[in-house]
Every structure is written in structure tokens, then in C-alpha cells.
Amino acid sequence: MDRNTAGERPIRVGVVGIRRGSSFISGATETVGMKLTALCDTREEKLQEIGQRYDVTVYTDYDRFLEHDMDAVVLANYFHEHAPLALKALAAGKHVMSETAACKTMAEGVALCRAVKQSGKTYMFAENYPYSAACQELRRLYLTGEIGDVRYAEGEYNHAMEEDKRLSISPGSMHWRNWCPSTYYCSHALAPLMFITDTMPANVNALSVVEEGMQSPHTLKMSDLGSIILVRMDNGAVFRLWGLMLSSIHRIKYEIHGECGYMATAAPDHWSTVHIHHEEWLRQPGKPNDLTYRPDWPEHGDLARQAGHGGGDFWMNFHFARAIRSGEPPYLDVYRGVAMSAVGILGWRSCLQDGAPFRIPDFRDEAVLSAYENDHWSPFPEDAGSGQPPPSIRGLVEPSPEALAHAREIWTKQGYNGE
């Protein structure tokens, strides 16, 4: 148990979304000073099974779930549906930890920042990739001045996936994975770089990458498979983000180029291996030219090693509980979370304008917030209408009847019979 929680009442937590939420469910334990008390999901049969396993109350209605006697809510529902549920939870007096993305529109981001400030509750953006052993070590090294100030960095998150496998985790033609633009899921690439260098995004421009029929003639994805995003940070550095689901290679990698050195995650395991390099003419006494090693976590390595996403899933619950108890905002607070989501949203605007730059607003500035409070620009199908953007630089892509039939075969085998 964290030394700050010894003897204190556990934080009573409810989790929304039992599939992605499974790691938060299993991790809400006495070890981090939490107690799981309730679950919420629309899949009633599976929900009952998980509820019985953990001996907790279950709900299919989110409003009733919020009436449960608990302190905090973890949102692990669909990628683009977190902000409305977060707003309700904050209004109900609950602390909130929200999976990526924080918001799907700029207006939602504004409302979320205002709600967190007004409620006085803890909000944590549950981006787990910064908390691998490698990324935590790179942050430690960077803050000691190991490579000087960052000038350029690269974040790569590319989840190469065969089309039938992608369809199996995207049931329904309206599923968010079939519509999500190529820039929106940028936090896995960006968050570790922000965490390591303690910088914030200030400007973005991006280009979307189309991959036509390379994997299967049965594609049902309306959006593009990848993008290249350039982000100017608040210290003047440029970060290049690459990925999302291009077929070339499955890779997660981060590298930081400083004024007097270079450091990066390294093969064979980018979760746990780091590489440091100094040119001879810039090398300080006692510093190696090249060094590759596997660091451990600064604490609780035994628990982190048992968790998913390179240990990051453990650290989400750990830092959420610590922030609630201390009253201090977590590092991944609402402003960093919304800024990362804004990179995806405004990055997509850039893609649709062939790489035009867009400024990332400072969500701490109320005067700035008012300029975006009615900005409901969204490419998702439930928001379709006049003035709304397509999910692809090709426009609104219509899947073939053969593709739909093939997808339904896969979904039916999984027990999904919707459209």
C-alpha cells in the first residue's frame, strides 16, 4: 500500500465499461487505497458475470450508477464518449479518471475544463503509455539535464492490424473505430513526449495517409489508417507523431533530441529499454557516448510488472488515488488531457486543409475558452449534419455491400446482430 494511504478509508470506485475497464477493475485494490464498489455497462449478461466475480453492484443505467455511494468514477467506455459522462460525474460530486480521448469536440473540452474547476474534484486523464519503466526513466534523465533542452522529438504509435481482426473489435458500421479520423487517437504518441519533457502543445499541422485495400477488399473503415502530425511545443521544439493503423509495422517508440544529446526507448522492448547517446564533442565528463540498459520503475515495480500496457495500467489507479488523497492535481490533469485531444481535433482540421497550421488554445484561459464553447465540429456519425467534416480526406466513404456482408459474418460469430 502507498505509505500515504495506510490506515485511511479506501476510495470507493465505480468503473464504466467492463471490457477496457477490466484493468481498472482488477487494479482498484487496497494496494492503491481503492475499493471497487460498482460497475456500469450496457452488456447486461457479461456485466452480471463480472459483478458476481467481484461481488459489487452493477448498473446498465448510468444515472442510477451515479447515485451509488462512491467517491470516484473511472470512464473506460467508448473512445469518443467520455466527456458527457465525465460532466455528469463531476456534477454528482465524483472524482473522475477518463480514458482517452478527453473530448471529441472543442466545446466538450471547454465544458470539461470549466466543470473540473467548478467542482473542485480530481480529474485525471488516463493515458497509460507515459508510465512504462522506460518513459519514467527518460523523464528522470531529462529533468536532470542529461541532454539539455529538447529541440525535436518523435512519438510513434502504429497498431498494424489485419482487417478481420480490426472488424472483430469494431462491431457495427457506426462503431467509433470505423469512423475515428487518423489524427484523433494521438495521445499514445504524444503523451509520453509531453511527460518526459514537461512541455505543452502550442500549434499543430498534419497530413492524413490513405491506404487503399492493402489488407482486404472487405474494409469497412470509413476513415484513413494513418497520419503524420507536427506539433510545435510551448518551448519552441517540434514533435513529430506517426501512426495509427498503417500496415507496415507494429511499433511503439519514442525519441528525444536535445541540445547536447539524444535519448530514446530502444529495442527489443520499448516498454522497458532506454538508449542514451552523446556526441564526443558534447559529452560531459563521466557521461558515456552510448549506453543502452533496462531500468526498473522508481517504486512498486513488482506490481507494475503484473499490469498491462508496460505497467501503465497499474500507475493509472495509483496516481488517481494519490491525487484524490493529496488534493493536488495529477500530472495528467484536465488541461493536459484536453490539450492532447485538441491536437487530434485541430490536427484533423489541418488534414482537411492540406496541412494548414492551427493554434492549440490555452484551456486555462477563460477568455480563450469562450471562443470555443460553441464549437461542436465533429466527424462522428451521430453528429452528422450541415458543416460537419468527413472522417476521411477522401470524403464520406461508402463501404461496398460485400464489405458489409463480410463484416456482419464476423460480428454475428461474436454475438453482435446490429447494423
> What residue spans define the domains of the chain?
11-125, 131-301+334-383
User: What are the strands, taking DSSP E only, across 112-164?
Assistant: 123-125, 150-158
| Domain 11-125 belongs in CATH node 3.40.50.720 | yes
Helix axes 106-119, 334-352, angle to 10 degrees: 170
Dist. CA 174–CA 419, nearest whole Å: 8
Report how far Cα 23 is from the mean position of its chain's Cα atoms: 15
- Asked whether 39 and 50 are in contact (CB, 8 A), the reply is yes
Angle between helices 133-143 and 187-197 (to 10 degrees): 40
**Cell for 187?**
495521445
CA-based nearest residue to 193, from 249, 232, 244 = 232
Grid cell at residue 133: 519503466
CA distance 383 to 276: 46
Q: Reduced to 3 states, what is the DSSP secondary structure of residue 95?
A: strand
Backbone angles phi, psi at 129, to 5 degrees: -65, -30
* Class of 131-301+334-383 in CATH: alpha beta
Determine the pLDDT at residue 284: 83
Contact 123, 334 (CB under 8 A): yes
* Angle in degrees, CA 114, 27, 69, rounded to 5: 55
275-310 burial string, b = 16+ CB within 10 Å, else e?
bbbbeeeeeeeeeeeeeeeebebeebeebbeebebb
| DSSP output for 211-270 | --SSS-TT----S-SEEEEEEEETTS-EEEEEEES-SS--EEEEEEEETTEEEEE-TT-T
Q: How many helices (H) and strands (E) does the chain have?
A: 14, 15
Q: What is the pLDDT along the chain (419 residues), one digit of tens a residue?
A: 454 455 588 999 999 999 888 889 988 888 899 999 999 999 899 999 999 999 999 999 999 999 999 999 999 999 999 999 999 999 999 999 999 899 999 999 999 999 999 999 999 999 999 999 999 999 999 999 999 999 999 999 999 998 889 999 999 999 999 999 999 999 999 999 999 999 999 999 999 999 876 556 678 889 999 999 999 999 999 999 999 999 999 999 999 999 999 999 999 999 999 999 999 998 888 888 999 999 988 888 888 888 888 888 899 999 999 999 999 999 999 999 999 999 999 999 999 999 999 999 999 999 999 999 999 999 999 999 999 999 999 999 888 888 898 999 999 988 887 77
Give pLDDT, residue 232. Answer: 98
Take residue 347 and report the three cell numbers written for it.
490536427
> Would you say 240 and 254 are in contact if contact means Cβ atoms under 8 Å apart?
no
Contact 95, 329 (CB under 8 A): no
In single-letter form, the type of residue at position 275 comes to H
Domain 11-125 shares a fold with domain 131-301+334-383: no
Asked if 255 and 193 touch (Cβ cutoff 8 Å), the reply is no
**For residue 48, how many other CB atoms are within 10 A of its CB?**
14
Looking at residue 4, its pLDDT comes to: 45
Please say whether the beta carbons of 173 and 399 come within 8 A. yes
How many whole angstroms separate alpha carbon 159 and alpha carbon 215?
14
Alpha-carbon span 166 to 168, nearest angstrom: 5
Distances (CA, A) of 129 to 22, 253, 358: 17, 11, 26
Name the nearest CA neighbour of 235 among 204, 259, 202: 202
